[in-house]
């Protein structure tokens, strides 16, 4: 039988930032698919994922304790388990049922590509578990978001230099080593070289100094710094567009 002990494992401080961006992006793209169909009010993220009961055998890693994605506050835990998806769903389904009246639907299940998703409502928040099969069992994310806070664009996302036609895919705010951090994901139709030249010119004009740059497998990576913080850029081309990842730690652009 699965137990009720929460174990948290914190990632190493030097963990490469794009890993965080990728995990948040993956989690957001699928967790937004399912929301239990009830109307409740919320204005801020007051829920704490650590208050949930989790399987004792599950390894839980913070993706973010304080994340704001497109203006939406959220908490995200990555979960890994030697148990299969059915067993984990059975555990959470039974646990979440205790929060609801017997005549009410406690949770909703959906399939989104390779992800299986289970969601419920608690304290005016949408709680989402999304899992996929792994080599050792199953893995995925547990997230909590308020239900009725409209997404909005933050100041850094608005001020960050963009070439004409560049689309902002996502803006994620979090805390990195005790300092505020913002991760932006953008795309456009320009080449990697054109984007690299644009950001070199634009950022240096704004007082940023290029500390290091590299090019590997067609991906351009640049590190900038100034007194107010640090900025990392990764520019890569996929089959349809050029993707720009920007991670800013500290002050504004």
Instruction: List Cβ neighbours of 78 (8 Å cut-off, separation of 6 or more).
Output: 23, 60, 61, 62, 63, 139, 140, 141
Q: Print the domain residue range for 68.
A: 8-146
* Phi/psi at 39 (5° precision): -105, 110
Q: Is residue 1 in some structural domain?
A: no
Q: Is residue 201 in some structural domain?
A: yes
Q: Is residue 3 in some structural domain?
A: no
Of 146, 166, 189, the one marking the end of a domain is: 146
Do 187 and 102 reside in the same domain of the chain?
A: no
Q: Is residue 226 in some structural domain?
A: yes
Number of folded domains that form the chain? 2
Do 53 and 140 reside in the same domain of the chain?
A: yes
Of 146, 164, 183, the one marking the end of a domain is: 146
Query: 240 — alpha (psi -120 to 50), left (phi > 0) or beta?
Result: alpha
Do 100 and 192 reside in the same domain of the chain?
A: no
Q: Is residue 243 in some structural domain?
A: yes
Do 240 and 188 reside in the same domain of the chain?
A: yes
Q: For each of the chain's 253 residues, which pLDDT tens digit applies?
A: 343 333 333 333 333 334 444 444 444 444 433 333 322 222 344 577 878 889 988 999 888 777 776 666 778 889 999 999 999 999 999 888 887 777 677 788 888 888 999 998 887 888 899 999 999 999 999 988 777 665 555 677 788 999 999 988 877 777 656 677 788 888 999 999 999 999 999 999 999 999 999 998 889 999 999 887 899 999 999 888 999 999 888 766 6
Do 12 and 72 reside in the same domain of the chain?
A: yes
CA distance 176 to 4: 29
Q: What's the confidence (pLDDT) of residue 194?
A: 96
> Could you tell me the two tokens for 39?
């109307």
Do 80 and 164 reside in the same domain of the chain?
A: no
Do 78 and 129 reside in the same domain of the chain?
A: yes
CATH of the domain at 161: 3.30.310
Do 30 and 64 reside in the same domain of the chain?
A: yes
Of 146, 179, 210, the one marking the end of a domain is: 146
Q: Is residue 51 in some structural domain?
A: yes
Burial zone of 101 (CB within 10 Å; 0-12 exposed, 13-18 middle, 19+ buried) = exposed
Q: Is residue 33 in some structural domain?
A: yes
Do 79 and 19 reside in the same domain of the chain?
A: yes
Is-contact 244 163, C-beta < 8 A? no
Do 103 and 121 reside in the same domain of the chain?
A: yes
> Could you tell me the two tokens for 172?
């994620």
């Amino acid at each position: 039988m699965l137990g009720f002990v929460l174990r948290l494992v914190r990632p190493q401080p030097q963990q490469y930032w794009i890993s965080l961006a990728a995990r948040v992006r993956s989690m957001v793209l699928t967790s937004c698919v399912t929301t239990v169909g009830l109307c409740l009010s919320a204005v801020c993220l007051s829920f704490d994922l650590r208050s949930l009961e989790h399987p004792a055998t599950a390894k839980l890693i913070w993706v973010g304790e304080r994340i704001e994605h497109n203006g939406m506050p959220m908490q995200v835990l990555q979960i890994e388990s030697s148990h299969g998806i059915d067993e984990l769903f059975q555990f959470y389904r039974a646990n979440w049922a205790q929060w609801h009246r017997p005549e009410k639907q406690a949770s909703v299940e959906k399939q989104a590509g390779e992800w299986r998703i289970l969601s419920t409502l608690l304290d005016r928040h949408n709680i989402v578990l999304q899992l996929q099969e792994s080599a050792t069992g199953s893995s995925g994310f547990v997230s909590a978001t308020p239900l009725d806070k409209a997404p909005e664009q933050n100041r850094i996302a608005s001020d960050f230099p963009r070439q004409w036609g560049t689309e902002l895919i996502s803006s994620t705010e979090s805390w990195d080593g005790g300092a505020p951090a913002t991760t932006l994901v953008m795309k456009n139709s320009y080449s990697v070289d054109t984007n690299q030249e644009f950001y070199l010119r634009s950022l240096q004009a704004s007082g940023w100094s290029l500390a290091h740059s590299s090019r590997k497998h067609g991906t351009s990576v640049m590190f900038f710094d100034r007194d107010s913080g640090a900025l990392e850029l990764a520019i890569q081309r996929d089959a349809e567009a050029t993707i720009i990842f920007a991670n800013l730690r500290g002050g504004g652009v």
